[in-house]
Each structure stands twice: as C-alpha cells, then as structure tokens.
Structure 1
Amino acid sequence: MKRALVFGAGVSGLGAKKLLEKNGYEVVLVDDKKAISSKEGMSIIPSVELFIKSPGVPYTELVKKAFELKIPVMDEVELAYRYMRKKDEQPKIIAVTGTNGKTTITTKIKELIQYCGYKCEFAGNIGRSFAELVIENIDLDYIVLELSSYQLENVREFRPDIAMVINLAPDHLDRYEKAGDYYNAKFNIGAKQESGDYFITNMNCEESSKRLSNINADIWKVSLEGGDGCDIYPEDGWVMYKDKKIIREEKLSLKGRHNLENVLFIAAVSEIIGLDKEKLREFLYNTGTLEHRMERFLEVGNTLFINDSKGTNIESSKMAIEAYHGCILICGGVDKKLDLKPLVEAIKTHVSTVFLIGELAEKLEKELIQGGYLESRIIRAGDLENSIGLIHQKIDIYEKNNILLSPATASFDQFKNFEERGKVFKELVKKYFTAGEKI
C-alpha cells in the first residue's frame, strides 16, 4: 500500500488525509497537539512516498527532512487539483489571492454565479478545504478558491482557468524573510497558466505590475484610476468595461473605495465567463456585506459600532480607519514584525482615541508617541472586554461616535481566529450597550 505523511491536523490537513485514504493511501497524520509528534514523524518519514504540508505549518526539521530525502512535498490545494483533473467532468476553477479583499471577492463571485443559475461552490482558505470538495464529487460548473500565500508555496501543476491577485501589501513577515518572498508566493497562483487562461491584475499595485512578465495567461487589467489598456475601471460614476458603461457606482450596495476595487474584479470575472449584465447589476445593487468586514452591526443613540475583525493586516485596517474619520479605534493583537509607520500615520490623521490590546500594544504605543500622536489619546486596555467597558464609561451614546474594531493584525495571542474575535466583540458591545437595534 502507498504511504503518505500529512503534517498538520487542521481543516486542510484533514481534508488531504481523507482524499488520500479514499485513493488507497495509508496516511500517517503528524501534529504535535492532535496526532503523533514531529519526533515520531522523523522515524517514519523514510517510508513515505508523499508529504503533504498544511499551510499553517512552518518549515520545521521534519519538512526539511522530506526535501532532503527528495520526497515530493506539496500543499493540499495541489493534491486536490491533481485528483480533480482525473475526473471526466471538470468544473472551471476561479482562484483568488491578494493581501486584502480575498474573502469578499471569493464569496461574491460564488453568490453571483449561483444567482445567474450556475452550480458553484467555494473552498480553500474559506469554509471547507478544496480536498473535501473533491471528495464530495458534486456536479459543479465552477469552483471558486480563496488561496493564501501559505497555500500557494508548494503548488506545482495547479492551473486555474481564471486567477487573480487583488493587491499586494507587506504581511506575514513573521514567516517570510522579506516582503518579496510573500509577493512571489502569491504570484504562484498564475505560474502554470497558459494562453487561453485568464489572469486579472490590479494596475494600481506596483508589486503586481513588476511580476506580470512571469504570467503567460491572457491578462485582464483593472484599475481604480483608469488609464490606457485597462479592461475594467470606474469613470464618471460608472464602472466601465472597455468603453461601455456596465454598473452605476452610486447604486452599489458594497460601499467604500476598497469595495469598488472588489467590484472591478467581480465584474471582470463576469465578463470573462459571459454572465448576463442585467443579472450582474441586480446582484451588485442588492448584495450584503460580509460578517467581520467593516460590518455595521449596532447603532445605539448616535453611536455606531463597526466590526472589522477581518482587518488582520495594516493595509486593510488603514482602509477601515480612513472610512471612519474621527473614530474611536480598538487595535492590536499578534506582532507580525511589520513596519507600523503607515498604521501610525492613519491613526494620527483619523482616530480620536485608540484602545490598544494584545501582544502588539506596547510596541504600537511607543511608535504612536514617537510619531507625534498624543499620549493622552492612547489607552492600553489589554483586551476587548476592558476596551468595551472603558468606552462605555467614557462616551455619551447620544453624541456622534463611530467605534471601530480593526486590529491590523492576527488574533492568535488572545483568540482562535478573527471570527472568534469579531463574535466576542459583538457580544461584549451588546452586553454593555443593551439598548439599540441591529442594523
């Protein structure tokens, strides 16, 4: 019997394990908390033919040993893709990556395609693993995959029909030696594409433009600024496809400049696969925002609470902060070793008071003070509950206030993930501010 080692017992690893077992492999699951230890894995590794590394797993000695022994090392996404390509009926794959906007674009593309009457599901870094979807063997027209840089590090044959890199900004520098390594991992999404495939790129992103020479697919260009050669862009209150007006900006239900950028990518996919333009408009004029993404979830008196727990990097939180000028901000979490200066500038310009939480709090406080932000406007709250309790004491709900949770980093120092962080935030707000209605 063929033997494989799966390193990591999260959603991705367990999906890979099931898929391999279904295809005749004996699978050894290694996870220092949930399965056999890495040390035990070292004694087993010479006997395996395939090594699946879960995306969250760093390059430990066990992973390095697999490379040393020339055992094929791949990601669950690559594994699932190879098995999917063996099927007679193959859905088209739309693959989405970037620093910000991945989940919104992935979700809305799936919902749009379904709204237009086609069979479509999403997977990857959202909901279930790609492997689980392949195991289910559902009859689908399209699969939309949200992919992180981690999931793209060890792809080899993965070739989506449509790929996109939404934007690139420094992130995960606790994992990557330099930002360029992170950007290059993202661009693996289109590495195996060929002419006849489609690659959608953001012409406002300098780091993406630098890497387009590595792409062999048919390139579609989107831009918030327009310009020569762009396929999808805004102009005079419309979203344009080449020279044709297709969507009225003012009617879009997803508000804000960052969501307009998301709409450009969604519209590009719609044009590429030939969806009905009237259906596209109906969908984009009425679709709702996603939970934890600039989610306006409660208004009490004149005080609005916004849950942007998905703000897990500086660029994402900057957009939220800029959208709510004069806000009271709750910020902080894990220290990703990122340059905090852009965040400091955004807070200086737009934030009236900042409540700092988590591991990053001390470092961010020092940089804020050095950057000229008044120390009296900084409150080291420690955690979410203390932040909400202090805000409850300090503000008059009948004055106009925007209370924004946008941490600018991950939550693993205090929460399991950003979803748990956002859920706790909303529960605490409702606990302390019992009046008001959900909006």
Structure 2
Amino acid sequence: MKKAMIYGAGISGKSVKKLLEVMKWETVLVDDKIGVSSTDAVAYLKGIDLFVKSPGIPYNDLIEKVEKKGIKIVNEIEVAYKYMKKTSKTKIIAITGTNGKTTTTSKLAGLLNAARIRSIAAGNIGTPYSGVVLEKNKYEYIVLELSSYQLENLYEFKADIAMIINLAPDHLDRYRDANDYYDTKFNVGMNQSSEDEFIVNIDDVEIIKRLDRINGEISRLSLEENTEVCLSENNLYFKDKQITAIDNFSLKGIHNLQNILFIVGVAKLIGIDNYVITNFLENTKSLEHRMEEFYIYKNKNSVINFINDSKGTNLESTMKAIGSFENPILICGGCDKNLELTPLIEEIKKSVKEVYLIGELAPKLEKGLLAVNYPRENIYTLKTLEKVVIALEKKMKTTDSEKDLTVLLSPASSSFDQFKSYEERGKIFKRLVLERFKK
C-alpha cells in the first residue's frame, strides 16, 4: 500500500486525507495541534511515497528534510486533479489573480447553473476541490478559485479554461519578490495546449509581460480597448457582437466590471445564451464580506452607512474600496505581509476622513501616515475591532453631523494575526456594529 504524509489539518488537509484513503493510500497527518507534530514527523518519513503540503504551511525545516530525501511534494489540487481525470469527464475552469477571484468564481458558477450547466465553485473559495471530485460526474464544470499558494507544487494539473484577473504585489512574506509571486500565478495555465482557453486581461502590465508563458488559445479582455471581450458605450461585447447593456447590473463598481468581463468571456466560450447572461447579471447579489453594505444607522441629521469589506486583504483591493466612497472612515490593518505601504498611505491621505488601525500592521501604518503629514488627530490606533466599534459608537452618538458618513472595514491585509479567516473578521465586525448601533 502506498503511503502519503499530509502536512496541515485544515479544511484542505482533512479533505485530501479522505480522498487519499478512498484511493487506498495509507496516510499520516502532520499538524502541531491535532496530528503528529512537525518535529516528530521526521521519524515517519521512511516509506513515504508522497508528501502533500497544505497551502498555508510555510517552507520550514520539515519541508527541507522532505526535499533532501527526494520525496515528491504536491498539494491538494494536484492530488484531486489526478483522481478526477481517472474517474470523470468534468472540466476545469481555473481562476486566479490578486483581486476579484472570489466574486468571479462564485458568480461564474452561479451563471453556469442558471444556464442549467451543472457546476460548483471550489478551491480557495471554501469547498475543497478534493472533496468535490469524490462526487465524480455530478458536475460538468468545477470552477476553481486558486491562490498563489495553491498554484505551488503542481505537476500534471491542467485547466480547460484559465484566467488571471489582475496582478498586484502581495504575499511578499512568502515570495522572494513581486515577480516571484506573479510567476507563480501563471501556473494556472500550466500544461495547457492550443485546445484549451486562456483569458488575458491586457489592461494589466504584469500580465502582458508574461504572455510567452501562455500555451492556451488566448482571448483578450479589456475595459479600455477593442478586444475579444470588451466594454464600449455601456455595452459588453464578445468578438464584436453585443452581449448586453451594463446599466442594470447588480454588481457595482469598476472592479466588478472587470470581473463581469471574465464571467461573460467564459460564458460565451461555453456557448451560453445572451438572455441568460443578462438576466443573471441584473439579479445576482453581492457577496458577503466584499463591499457589503450591511447596516445603515440613522443619526439625528445624517445616516452612517457601514460597509464590510473584510475580503479586502491586500493594498490594491482596499485602495479601490476607498475610491468607491466619498471621504470614508476607514478601519484598516491585519497581518504584516512585508509590502511597500506607500501607495495605500497616499490614498488614505488623499481620500480618507479618519482611519482606525487594528492588528500587527497598525504601528507601521500609523508611522507612515504621520510621515506624510496625515493629521494625527484623525488616526486612532486601537488594535482591535471591538475597541474600534466602541470608539465609533461613543463618537457618532454624541456628535451631531449634518453630513452622511461611510464606515468602511477594508483591512488591506490578511486576518490571521487576530482571526481564523477574513470571514470570521467580517462576521465579528457586523455583530459588533449591530450590537452597538442597531436600535
């Protein structure tokens, strides 16, 4: 019997363990909390045929020892793909990028199902790919959201349709530099041939630099130029044919228009009718934790609109969120990813009324803001969401403003310094606001 070691007992680790056991593999689960410890795991390496590394696990001493022993290191995506190709005819749509992955993935799966094409969103979006493939031919398409971490340690994986929404610096605590991060993203199109499809955002400079890495049939997409998938005079076009007007789309903002272009591009490559596309885009709802307007508090002479953008886990995403409102009050901070913060700091200085800082990134942000002469009296370094909401309640219930206000949680970083996930962070924020402000 073949033997696999699985490093990490999170959702993907537990799921791939179950899959491997269905495949009749013996498994050893390594996790410093609930499995064999990473220190003790070295003693179990003899006889291991495959090492499955969970995406969030860093490249530490155990990984180094595995590499020295010549044991093949893969991830959950690779294991699931190899099983799927042997057991079903399901096709893969793979989506990555710095921003917009979750919206594009979930809404594309929704559109396919609206068109009566059996589909599911999986991968980084929460449902493990390795769990979905156990359902074999239940789905015609699996729409996979893939983080850069999930695009490491791949060998045979291949998407029928691949895309990179956009690229901006992120996760520099993991990668050598931004170029290393960008190059990893291009693994989304690995092993493709001219029989496969790759949708390219030509508005993104870093994507254009790497076109020679693409082997699939390219469909170009742009918000600015006339390409295969494009926008012109408030209409979406695919290969010079009008698909639909954009006036009544339920997903608002320029960032969502970019996501929609990818969704429409895939839909037309598959052959979905324009009526189905239009009806879906006019009626679908925004995602929880992504620019989610969840509560309006009515003060004496104004209203305060609370926005949960906990999914804003990088600088680019938060800068776009800030730009969607007029002088918002920003709640920002989280893990320190070792990123250059200047672009965000400049955007806060230019566009943010007040800023409330949380998490381990708070001191860096405060120092950077003071260095560019952002008013000290408009900076509140309170470290936790609970303290922020308490301070906001005290201030807003005692200050009679005649101007409507927006309170925007958009952290510009991941949540793991204080929360299990961005979902937990967003849910706690919404709970705290409702407890303090709801009449």
For normalisation by structure 1, the TM-score amounts to: 0.96
Deviates most, 97-106 or 121-130: 121-130
Confirm or deny that 1:237 pairs with 2:251.
Answer: no
Q: Which residue of 2 aligns with 1:348?
A: 349
CA displacement, residues 236-290 of structure 1 (integer Å, 9 cap, x when unaligned)? 1111223222121211110000000000000100111001110000000111000
Q: Is the 8 A contact 1:252 1:286 kept in 2?
A: yes
Confirm or deny that 1:270 pairs with 2:263.
Answer: no
Aligned CA RMSD, in angstroms, stands at: 1.1
**Distance between the aligned counterparts of 1:325 and 1:47, measured in 2?**
61
Q: Is the 8 A contact 1:93 1:161 kept in 2?
A: yes
**Distance between the aligned counterparts of 1:47 and 1:41, measured in 2?**
12
**Distance between the aligned counterparts of 1:367 and 1:385, measured in 2?**
24
Q: Which residue of 2 aligns with 1:190?
A: 189
Q: Which residue of 2 aligns with 1:55?
A: 55
Q: Which residue of 2 aligns with 1:77?
A: 77
Local SS of the residue matching 2:166: coil
CA displacement, residues 292-348 of structure 1 (integer Å, 9 cap, x when unaligned)? 000001112211110000000000001100001211010011111101011011111
Identity among equivalent pairs (%): 50
Q: Is the 8 A contact 1:190 1:215 kept in 2?
A: yes
Deviates most, 133-142 or 410-419: 133-142
Provide the aligned length of Structure 1 versus Structure 2. 432
**Distance between the aligned counterparts of 2:261 and 2:5, measured in 1?**
41
Q: Which amino acid aligns with 1:427?
A: R
**Distance between the aligned counterparts of 1:292 and 1:119, measured in 2?**
26
Q: Is the 8 A contact 1:300 1:397 kept in 2?
A: no
Q: Which residue of 2 aligns with 1:150?
A: 149
Deviates most, 390-399 or 191-200: 390-399
Local SS of the residue matching 1:38: coil
Deviates most, 393-402 or 371-380: 393-402
Q: Which amino acid aligns with 2:346?
A: E
Q: CA deviation at 1:63?
A: 1.2
CA displacement, residues 355-385 of structure 1 (integer Å, 9 cap, x when unaligned)? 1111111110010111221111111122111
Q: CA deviation at 1:47?
A: 1.4
Q: Which segments of structure 1 move beyond 3 Å, counting only runs of 4 or more? A: 396-399
Local SS of the residue matching 1:137: helix
Q: Which amino acid aligns with 2:429?
A: F
Confirm or deny that 1:417 pairs with 2:414.
Answer: no
Q: Which runs of 5+ in 1 are unaligned?
A: none
CA displacement, residues 364-415 of structure 1 (integer Å, 9 cap, x when unaligned)? 0010111221111111122111111111222247630001000000111111
Confirm or deny that 1:402 pairs with 2:406.
Answer: yes
Q: Is the 8 A contact 2:89 2:137 kept in 1?
A: no
Local SS of the residue matching 1:172: coil
For normalisation by structure 2, the TM-score amounts to: 0.96
**Distance between the aligned counterparts of 1:179 and 1:384, measured in 2?**
30
**Distance between the aligned counterparts of 2:53 and 2:383, measured in 1?**
35
Q: CA deviation at 1:138?
A: 4.7
Local SS of the residue matching 1:46: coil
Q: CA deviation at 1:43?
A: 1.1
Q: Is the 8 A contact 1:4 1:25 kept in 2?
A: yes
Q: CA deviation at 1:74?
A: 0.6
**Distance between the aligned counterparts of 1:370 and 1:240, measured in 2?**
46
Q: Which residue of 1 aligns with 2:390?
A: 389
Local SS of the residue matching 2:200: strand
Confirm or deny that 1:216 pairs with 2:220.
Answer: no
Q: 2:253 aligns with which of 237, 253, 256?
A: 256
Q: CA deviation at 1:60?
A: 1.4
Q: Which runs of 5+ in 2 are unaligned?
A: none
Q: CA deviation at 1:127?
A: 2.1
CA displacement, residues 189-224 of structure 1 (integer Å, 9 cap, x when unaligned)? 102110010011111111111111011100111111
Q: Which amino acid aligns with 1:293?
A: R
Confirm or deny that 1:426 pairs with 2:423.
Answer: no
Deviates most, 218-227 or 288-297: 218-227
Q: Is the 8 A contact 1:54 1:76 kept in 2?
A: yes
Q: Is the 8 A contact 1:303 1:399 kept in 2?
A: no
CA displacement, residues 154-188 of structure 1 (integer Å, 9 cap, x when unaligned)? 11111110000000100011111111111111100
Q: Which residue of 2 aligns with 1:332?
A: 333
Q: Is the 8 A contact 1:332 1:409 kept in 2?
A: yes
Local SS of the residue matching 1:272: helix
Confirm or deny that 1:281 pairs with 2:282.
Answer: no
**Distance between the aligned counterparts of 1:55 and 1:223, measured in 2?**
31
Q: Which residue of 1 aligns with 2:9?
A: 9
